[in-house]
A and B are shown apart, each in its own frame.
Chain A
Amino acid sequence: MFETLSDRLAGVFTGLRGKGRLSPADIDATAREIRIALLEADVALPVVRQFIAAIKERASGEELSQALNPAQQVIKIVNEELIAILGGETRRLEFAKTPPTVIMLAGLQGAGKTTLAGKLARWLKGQGHTPLLVAADLQRPNAVTQLQVVGEQAGVTVFAPDPGNTSGVEISGPGGDPVAVSRNGVAEAKAKLHDVVIVDTAGRLGVDADMMQQAASIRDAVDPDEILFVVDAMIGQDAVTTAEAFRDGVGFTGVVLTKLDGDARGGAALSVRQVTGAPIMFASTGEKLSDFDTFHPDRMAARILGMGDMLTLIEQA
């Protein structure tokens, strides 16, 4: 339903083939189209602005190649800049020198943390690690049960000393002590020689000061090697506010983008990366535990621009 950037730019550049350099007017017209394309892809407005400024500067300096028409030329520049931001320094998980390696998950409600915990555990187990899942979401009804089921599917041990919020338990404020559960989880891993600990935490809003404080306390209790911010690829303009709130409230070392199996363009990838500088490390691509991949900046760039065919398009030229 959205026009792709190549369609848009083709319109702008009709009849402009082989002009040597783009005129300032061409560049303005181009910038408008790129702006709309990025906004439709849910890239956050402040990030769009920054990005457009960078593209404008580069496009006006660049000598137009004879091999490419102006639209292709601009697409190439946009694509390269997107990959540069998204890819920057992709890196692998940081493992602790002395095990266990502690990975803490954090994010908004429903982003996909618990599912990701299972995916990570399964993936790490496949590489010969012996992960322990820690059920530190005592808030969402039956979050602990959910993690137990997921752990069973992944074939890994789940540390769940507190049943959390279930129908058998009286509701009393936030209930339970997720900080103690997390701390004890790490101790358990040491005692039972698990080399990785994955702490699943409750979903929380950036504006919820108490819950952000709780996340910081969990962090302080487990001293994580990685804090992964889990964010839904469907998120819109709120991506920046939320990413900043988690960066300031708990801090994170990496980002995981979820629900990439849908058709959301996933502009949040660009927003979060640009605003926080944290690398996007993994992509979650389905509900099954095997639907998990390392992050590919080039695919993400093509997706944001709505052009899976872009690479072939440029290679042909």
Chain B
Amino acid sequence: SRSQNAFGRSMLGLLGAGTMDEDSWTDVEDTLLLADLGSQAATEIAEKLRTEVAAHGINSPAEAKALLRRVLVEAVDPTMDRSVRALPHDGRPSVVLVVGVNGTGKTTTTGKLARVLVGSDRSVVLGAADTFRAAAADQLQTWGARAGATVVRSAEGTDPASVAFDAVKRGIDEGADAVLIDTAGRLHTKTGLMDELGKVKRVVEKQAKVDEVLLVLDATTGQNGLVQARVFADVVDITGIVLTKLDGTAKGGIVVAVQRALGVPVKLVGLGEGQDDLAPFEAEAFVDALLG
């Protein structure tokens, strides 16, 4: 897109320009800021670039591009383990809990993940533990029907922990391969709702360990994303991030700070509203999208 190219061009223009004055360095930072990296991560990356430029000298736009790409890829850390633990083990289904603030794409991601698993001949149970949002269970039911997954749901207002418990029980009883639990959107600032989420996880763990807790972050989210991730990590110990809506113009740069602060990898990306618009996160592709 237009802004992606602008990002790449301005960075390369700057790095290829030979001498870098203070204003140019400010512009490097600005460019990173535009991708929502946040001022701290942007400053750190600019500092690192500065060191590398001083050490190696930059002679051509190609070198500049390679250097920039390398520094950014390192910042995203391609060595992290990004596998999603969604396969059965120890004779029971894997259990995946999907959490996040309102409207980020939890239900959609749950549906897409079911589709991926069913597509590789796995049997899936979906737990509709959002018993609050209007028609949330219906929405998950539609996804489940399309994917060919069983949906366990209950009346609006039911305790979400009990729905989650029932879903896992059903998964174990049926010998399913995976149980994916969709939870209600909740702002991390609402302690009552966060406590409720903690309870969902504890109650599920009376039967089976939760293998994967996926925090769904919307790529348009700015600096608040880091705060969200910290609080969700405290409450339910997130094990992976799903970065959704990357098919838009937003770059999702906040995940760079999130990964660094929490050591939790981005595992999946959402690339649209369709059933197949879910992909593994790849550090190089993410950086290339930033560079346009």
A207 lies within 8 A of B273 (CB)? no
What is the number of residues of chain A that contact chain B, defined by CB distance less than 8 Å?
49
B246-259 contact mask (Cβ, 8 Å, vs A): 1 or 0:
01111100100000
CB neighbours of B141 from chain A (8 A): 142, 167
Asked if B20 is at the interface of the complex by the 8 Å CB criterion, the answer is no
Interface readout for A143-177 with B: 1 if CB under 8 Å, 0 if not?
Answer: 00110111001000000000001110001000000
Q: Say yes or no for B262: interface residue by CB 8 A criterion.
A: no
User: Once the chains bind, are A110 and B249 in contact (CB under 8 Å)?
Assistant: no
Q: How far is the CA of A148 from the CA of B146 in the complex (A)?
A: 22
Q: Is the CB of B248 within 8 A of A39?
A: no
B232 on the interface (CB 8 Å rule)?
no
Q: Is B245 at the interface (CB under 8 A from chain A)?
A: yes
Q: Which residues of B sit under 8 angstroms from A205, Cβ to Cβ?
A: 245, 247-249
Contacts of A140 in B (CB 8 A): 139, 273
Task: Name the B residues within 8 Å of A308 (CB-CB).
Answer: none
B208-228: which residues lie under 8 A (CB-CB) from chain A?
218-225, 227
Residues of A within 8 A of B219 (CB): 238
Task: Tell me which residues from 60 to 116 in chain A have a Cβ below 8 Å from any Cβ of chain B.
Answer: 108-112, 114
**A1 on interface, CB distance cutoff 8 Å:** yes
Q: Is A110 a contact partner of B273 (Cβ separation < 8 A)?
A: no
Instruction: Assess the A237–B36 pair: CB atoms within 8 A.
Output: yes
Chain B residue contacts of A238, Cβ below 8 A: 36, 219-220, 248-251
Q: Which of B33, B102, B107, B247 has the most CB of A within 10 A?
A: B102
Any chain A CB within 8 A of the CB of B35? yes
> Of B129-137, B166-174, B197-205, which stretch is located at the interface?
B129-137
Of the candidates B141, B187, B254, the one having the most CB atoms from chain A within 10 angstroms of its own CB is B187
Asked if residues B146 and A149 are in contact (CB atoms below 8 Å), the reply is no
Nearest CB to that of B274 among chain A residues? A171
Given that A139-B273, A165-B142 are known contacts, is A108 also in contact with B220, CB under 8 Å in the complex?
yes
Residue from A36, A110, A171, A234 with most neighbouring chain B CB atoms (10 Å): A234
What chain B residues lie within 8 Å of A39 (beta carbons)?
33, 38-39
Binary interface profile of B, 18-37, with partner A (CB < 8 Å = 1, else 0)?
00000000000010011110
CB distance from A243 to the nearest CB of B (A): 11
Q: Does B3 lie within 8 Å of A232, measured CB to CB? A: no
Q: Which of A148, A207, A236, A245 contacts B220 (CB 8 A)?
A: A236
Interface residue from A109, A114, A263 paired with B227 (Cβ < 8 Å): A263
CB-CB contacts below 8 Å: B75-109 with A: 101-105, 107
Known: A112-B102, A263-B224; 8 extra A-B contacts, CB below 8 A, are A1-B227, A40-B38, A110-B105, A145-B135, A150-B134, A167-B141, A205-B245, A237-B33
